[in-house]
Amino acid sequence: MADSIEGRVRTGVDAFLRWLPRWEVGTSRARTRVCRLCLGSPVATAAGFDHDVPHAVQHALLSRMRQIVDEAVDEYTARNLPMVARELSKGEAQEPTGYRPEQGLPPEFQGLPLDPEPDPEQPFLFTLEELATEDQREAQARAGAPDPEPTVFTEEAKKALSTELELADDHARQVGTAVCLALVEHRQRIADAIDRLVEPQIDELLAELSKALENPRSR
Ligand SMILES: [Zn+2]
């Protein structure tokens, strides 16, 4: 497993480094919602990110690493955990159809809020989230979709399923650790790219801000 994870992490870091030159420092207000992917992530530590690295940059790499873990766990589940695999495929069949703005995004943007934070001075006519909910409601109404019958499990089946779920969890932890170990090998490349592409932009922004603060009237 470790070999294939190492290869995938290398490919993921390569893709992240190809994307990084397109990143531009934003002047928008800081987000107020915490990101469940990035907050306290051991992957961020493994990558050598500190608090000065902007969230969008961290998120882009962490999202790619998350994909590696998800794919590895999916493969393991399909191969070794028939009950979990069956439940997952049922779940997928029940996913609402319709407009899904969060799907098909490049990994850099997955898991980020779809809409910017609302600004009372500039209200939106609509938000992507609203559009998606409307669309799903309509699709469900058209299909007259009754809620699917929940599966009834015997005690024995319940035990078997929970054993499989534990195995899936264990595997996810192992893959997560392997990803972190593999990522440490790329720390220097990542740090060099951040120094070259991210820090100058932040320094420039800070310089502009302090200039604006010193001469408030010149603007
Ligand atoms: Zn994030």
pLDDT digits (tens, 9 = 90+) for 145-200: 666 666 788 999 999 999 999 999 999 999 999 999 999 999 999 999 999 999 99
Q: Which residues have a beta carbon within 5 Å of ligand 1, which is an ion?
A: 35, 37-38, 59
Please indicate whether residue 92 or residue 119 has the higher confidence score (pLDDT).
92
Q: Ligand 1 mean position to 54 CA, how many Å?
A: 10
Q: 38 CA distance to ligand 1 centroid (A)?
A: 4
Do residues 189 and 115 touch, judged by C-beta distance below 8 A?
no
Q: Which domain holds residue 57?
A: 2-94+148-218
Q: Is residue 69 included in any domain, yes or no?
A: yes
**What's the number of domains the chain is made of?**
1
In a domain, 132, yes or no: no
Please answer whether residues 33 and 113 qualify as being in contact, where contact means their C-beta atoms are separated by less than 8 angstroms: yes
Q: The tokens of 138 are what?
A: 């309509």
36 occurs within a structural domain: yes
Q: What is the pLDDT, as a whole number, of residue 27?
A: 58
**Residue at 122 is within a domain:** no
Name the pLDDT band for 30 (thresholds 50, 70, 90).
low
110 lies in some domain:
no
Beta strands in 114-180 (DSSP E): none
Q: Residue 193 domain-assigned? A: yes
Closest listed residue to residue 59, CA positions, set 24, 9, 110: 110
On whether residue 119 sits in a domain, the answer given is no
Whether 143 maps to a domain, the answer reads no
Q: Which residue has the higher pLDDT, 51 or 133?
A: 51
What per-residue confidence (pLDDT) applies to 102? 77
Q: How far is the CA of 113 from the centre of ligand 1 (A)?
A: 9
